[in-house]
Amino acid sequence: MTGIIAFAKLFAVYFSGQGSLGAAAAPERPPLAHSDLRAPELVELITLESGLRLDIRYATANNFVGYPVYGEARAFLQKPAAEALIRVHRKLGAQGYGLMVYDGYRPWSVTKIFWDAVSGPKRQFVADPALGSRHNRGCAVDLTLYELTTGQAVAMPTDYDEMTERAYSDYPGGTPESMALREILKAAMASEGFTVHPREWWHYDYRDWQSYAILDVPFSAAAGQ
């Protein structure tokens, strides 16, 4: 994974124009952690519930940067957030749906890749590495619903990672069916302490995210954190 990230950093900087004169330099290391934060306890989601489906696009070229930034297609969250997510998944079963996860814990170095890869208005859809991301804390998850009968993801107002106002969690467009499904997901996640991001219908933050430090450990070491 280290080699993939190093290559991706160079690729992103070169093609984004962030190396030009006048561009603000992104930090080279994560923000310092406060001493009163909780010890990390990242858990791999699929080990808690085999019925969860994964579509880890950042381990493929099917994502907004166009190349893999993860060496492994895995998803982790801090244990309280992970357990809450599993409760959501099981509740949704009564309505004929399950959860399909796009991303969970994200190493800080990948957040920096994303920041360097975009510019202008699109930066509202990525986290500033100077501040870190709630994904870096293991308390944010990107996901959608899938139908239990077919195993297929439902049709939402946009695809994952579309960087337009159509991705906003309160966007009034889209089909009535897609908007209703978005609300089913929102209500189920809220019932277990998750809050939707206003600009991304797929992004949910767990209520205790402030209690954890920003991490930059690879997936191969995440379960030991």
200 is catalytic: yes
**Which residue in this structure is represented by tokens 């381990």?**
59
Distance CA 169, CA 43 (A): 27
Given 41, 72, 183, 200, which residue is catalytic? 200
Catalytic residues: 200
